[in-house]
Amino acid sequence: MIYGSKFPSLYLRIAIGSGYLWAVADRLGMVGANGRPHVAWGDWAHFLAYARKLMSFLPAASIPALALSATVAEVIFGLLILIGLFTRVASIGSGILSFCFALSMAISFGINSPLSYSVFTLSAASFLLASLPKYRWSIDERLRR
């Protein structure tokens, strides 16, 4: 039986953390050039153009700073969740960040967008991870001992 085992916690950490880090690698051009298969942005300029559409309801001057802030948060949350350090706090931050992202997608592109890309699911998974009592195979677990 998997329920109550150590594997769901680890699986959540790997899925959430690697997802954030992959998205950041894509927008920094580490996954491939824009227009290549399986590349969403390919560089910062294309990501920023997407961010402008995503946050079109906000003042245009604030979007580059918000895009950079979100990217930095994704790196921090992704790394912390993946290695299991400050997991609860990073998971709550991840849940809030991804919920804001889902709301922005829904406002700008319609509800289908965040549902099709499972952004609400990412948010819920982050809050679920934050609610777990312990994190096996994590730095948090080692520090707790």
Per-residue pLDDT reduced to its tens digit, 13-40: 999 999 999 999 999 999 999 999 999 9
What average pLDDT does the structure give for the chain? 96
Taking the C-alpha atoms of residue 21 and residue 30, their distance in angstroms, rounded to an integer, is 11
pTM over 0.85: yes
DSSP the chain: --TTSSHHHHHHHHHHHHHHHHHHHHHTTSS--TTSTT-S-SSHHHHHHHHHHHTTTS-GGGHHHHHHHHHHHHHHHHHHHHHTSSHHHHHHHHHHHHHHHHHHHHHHH-THHHHHTTHHHHHHHHHHHHH-S--TTSHHHHHH-
Residue 145: the pLDDT is 83
Is the four-CA dihedral 85, 8, 126, 23 of positive or negative sign? positive
Spans of all domains in the chain: 7-144
Residue 1: the pLDDT is 41
Residue 2: the pLDDT is 54
Residue 11: the pLDDT is 96
Answer with the residue of higher pLDDT: 4 or 56: 56
